[in-house]
Amino acid sequence: MIYCKSDYLGYVYLEDGTLLQGCGFGAKGIRAGEVVFSTAMNGYPESLTDPSYRGQILVLTHPLIGNYGVPRKQAVEGIYQNFESDSIQVEGLVVTEVTEPYKWNSERSLSKWLSDEEIPGVSDVDTRAIVKRVRTEGSMMGIIASGMEIDDPKKYLQKRYDETDFSPLTSPKTPVVHKGRGDKGIVVMIDCGTKHGIIKGLYDQGFTVVRVPCWFSPKEIMDYNPKGIIFGNGPGNPNLYVNQVKNFREILEYKLPTMGICLGHQLLTIALGGKVRKMKFGHRAINKAVVDLTTGEGYITTHNHGYAVLSKDDVPKGMKVWFYNPDDGTVEGMYHEKLPIITTQFHPEARPGPWDVTWVFKKFAKMVESNG
């Protein structure tokens, strides 16, 4: 019998039959999801609240998680400065060891935060064993159980991650306006589950950012008379966003300066006739290298994606590869030959990673400026 600080056990079950026993922490409960891992050593408040993690059980490879606790939410013009959305988005969290916080601005412990938001956590399992399975077999469904036993795994694994549309859970129901400090005008962000870091990146350029629901029609979007359009990040399989892709095609006809980030990069690829496919286990980290093909420069960037434009063969006509990942050749950004369209698969807003590529927002602002 293992000793658990929490006094209750926890389990992680992988769809290939692997069962790990550890300790439960956070809320008692049982949830299913796609099992994914991130190698980020810090930034768990940002990662856990990133809506792109909806439907996923997150395994963190760094062995000590929780050291700096959970800060109080701070917002400027409705934009969170230290969280990516209102609440925890992951289905569950798996770590090696969960620690008590030692930081002046910590409001509560990681464990308390998970309890408050009814999210189960499991600690004291060999996270390397899980990562090795996922790396060799590919991403798979799994179950996390905290303070509960998994009676019949099949019961929980009916709903498949790849076939589920999570955007109704992560997109705002009505438009949200973040009034800018400058006079750069309005940009509309089509929000299927965006990170607040992206809104901040645009706001810092002086724009008023209007976030609209992911299913808004081109007319409803154009009624704002936007100076630019942003397709943000979001959860799930991009190939399920059929209606949005149809709308995007229509919006592209207006030839406005357009930027796609992560899911937005994928949806723009599909809208323009390219292909987005599932990766074996994805990129989730804050230290992924990308190379800018226009300058030859390399950058260290934040990633969270399980799908991608896998090679230049999948790039749509008219688009050029802008960035690629030197480890596996994934296309990590594109630009249009003639139209003002740029995309990045990585996260230029960085949070919680390095700020090497925040200049992408400046580039977008310049595109808007020169479009008049």
Give the residue from 305, 310, 348, 306 showing the smallest Cα distance to 327.
310
- What SS3 class is residue 361? helix
Contact between 277 and 345 (Cβ < 8 Å): no
The verdict on whether residue 78 carries a ligand-binding annotation is: no
Kindly state whether residue 52 participates in binding ligand GLN, applying the rule CB under 6 A: yes
Please give the size of the binding site for ligand GLN, defined by CB under 6 A.
12
349 catalytically annotated: yes
What is the C-alpha to C-alpha distance for residues 188 and 191, in angstroms, rounded to an integer?
Answer: 9
In terms of CB distance, is 52 or 85 closer to ligand GLN?
52
For 49-67, b/e burial (b = at least 16 CB within 10 A) is bbbbbbbbbbbbbbeebbb
In terms of CB distance, is 66 or 238 closer to ligand GLN?
238
Residues 237-276 that bind ligand GLN (CB under 6 A): 238, 262-263
In terms of CB distance, is 277 or 366 closer to ligand GLN?
277
Does 168 sit behind a cis peptide bond, omega within 30 degrees of 0 on the bond before it?
A: no
β-bridge partners, 76: 79
What is the C-alpha to C-alpha distance for residues 43 and 47, in angstroms, rounded to an integer?
Answer: 6
Kindly state whether residue 29 participates in binding ligand GLN, applying the rule CB under 6 A: no
| Distance separating the N- and C-terminal Cα atoms of the chain | 68
In terms of CB distance, is 208 or 344 closer to ligand GLN?
344
Q: Is the dihedral of CA 111, 346, 192, 212 positive or negative?
A: positive
CB of residue 97 vs ligand GLN: minimum separation in angstroms?
Answer: 27
Kindly state whether residue 322 participates in binding ligand GLN, applying the rule CB under 6 A: no
Rounded to the nearest 10 degrees, the angle between the axes of helix 242-252 and helix 263-271 is 70
347 catalytically annotated: yes
Contact flags string 204-243 toward ligand GLN, x per CB under 6 A: -----------------------------xxxx-x-----
The verdict on whether residue 21 carries a ligand-binding annotation is: no
> Which of 211, 305, 336, 351 touches ligand GLN by CB under 6 A?
305
Residues 55-114 that bind ligand GLN (CB under 6 A): none
Kindly state whether residue 197 participates in binding ligand GLN, applying the rule CB under 6 A: no
* CB neighbourhood size of 214 (10 A): 25
Kindly state whether residue 352 participates in binding ligand GLN, applying the rule CB under 6 A: no
Q: Which residues contact ligand GLN (rule: CB under 6 A)?
A: 52, 233-236, 238, 262-263, 304-307
Would you name the residues annotated as active-site residues? 262, 347, 349
